[in-house]
Amino acid sequence: MIESEISRDRMQRRLDRLWEIGKTDRGGVTRLAYSEEENDAFEYVLEEISAIDSMAVEEDSIGNVFATTAPEASESLYLGSHLDSVFNGGRLDGTLGVVAALEAIEAVEASDEEPEIPPTLVLFRAEESARFGQAMIGSRGALGLLTTEDFSVVDQSNVPLWRAMQEAGFQPENLSEPTLDLNRIAGFLELHIEQGRVLDETSTNVGVVSSIRAPVRYRFEVLGDYDHSGATPMSMRRDAIAGAAEMITAVEEIGIEFDQDGDIVTTVGDITVSEGAINKVCGELSFPVDVRSNDRQFRDRIEERIVSSLEAIAEDRDLVLNTECINQTDPVELDEDMMEHLLETAESIGTSYRRLPSGGGHDAMNVQRLNIPTGMLFVPSVDGVSHNPAEETSEDAIEDAATVFARSIVDGVP
């Protein structure tokens, strides 16, 4: 029985070891895209893969890794996720998807059951946008979805993506074409913590994802005048911070207002002040805005409302507002047949399960965009915590999700 081959201890050992790679003094992990830490995490997983005699490994020009038990097979079920993280993130985000997929493949190999479709483990690079402001770089490259402009985006140190790839040991090629044989992908499965509270608060071990929200992201630059805080009368100030504070409040208020009409979340997660000081009126700052929805048309309405509202605030305060759209993707409905398959498999192993949407973006959405049958599982985020050192889930849920993946390998996909 496959179920008896799933090892909690092996998964926890791998999760703990990966946690050590990039572990911070605040208990989290920082493994940014194309960093030495991301490279080290890939090397560790490759070492673990090497112990499985049947696995053949390939690496593409931007560092994505594909390990399969049957390289000559005409089709394969792909399973996996990413190993990079946000700044001081949790130990499960992305990493759990790789570890559980490897465990499922390993369990099938150790069992007496023959898979209907042989599996391929996928390790995507650079899923998080923490370094370059661009998400899912690895999966987009593998699927032929990167543009020339994408390679020119820069990080906080003004290092462009193409150079970071080279410094990490890769030679990116023209990725207008996929690095994968798309006809070989019979389906794709990804596991992730929910990053929300639904599963945890309903004591549900496995969530089957129905759709994935997608963001539109902006960077707003607010320009005023630098002045002395003691010598400049209030009526004569062009205070960038005060203006930005009103703008950020407006972003929240618009999200709350339109949340009554449809699926929407609006977030300002950072503010960067240039040359700020306690005794200065601020003259320059920037902040990002993240707007997400499962409904593209509805999101477009909110996007327009936010931009026009911030422009009006800038005009009222005699500030300059520079607006840059840095990322825009479409929401995705995952494959209905794959969803039903995962729901039936979860029921067959006796775990608690439910269907729910994803608030965060994932590599799975890029695969589904190419009409490749894609499914996704969630496990609970304890207290809804994610992208944080306190990120955690239960061992029962991890084992159940890995078992669903193992059974899916053996039973095949719709």
Do the strands 185-193 and 76-82 form a parallel or antiparallel pair, or are they unpaired?
Answer: parallel
Q: State the sign of the Cα–Cα–Cα–Cα dihedral 207, 208, 209, 210.
A: negative
Spell out the residues 6+ positions from residue 278 whose beta carbon is closer than 8 angstroms to its own: 229
Looking at every residue in the chain, the average pLDDT score rounds to: 95
pTM over 0.95: no
Per-residue model confidence as pLDDT tens digits over 290-309: 999 989 999 999 999 999 99
The pLDDT, as a whole number, for residue 176 is 77
Per-residue model confidence as pLDDT tens digits over 202-227: 999 999 999 998 889 999 999 999 99
Domains of the chain: 2-213+331-411 (3.40.630.10), 214-328 (3.30.70.360)
Is 366 within 8 Å of 143 (Cβ atoms)? yes
Distances (CA, A) of 159 to 25, 141, 162, 164: 26, 19, 8, 7
The pLDDT, as a whole number, for residue 4 is 85
The pLDDT, as a whole number, for residue 53 is 78
Average pLDDT of span 169-188? 90
Query: Whole-angstrom distance between the N-terminal and C-terminal Cα of the chain?
Result: 22
Average pLDDT of span 308-329? 95
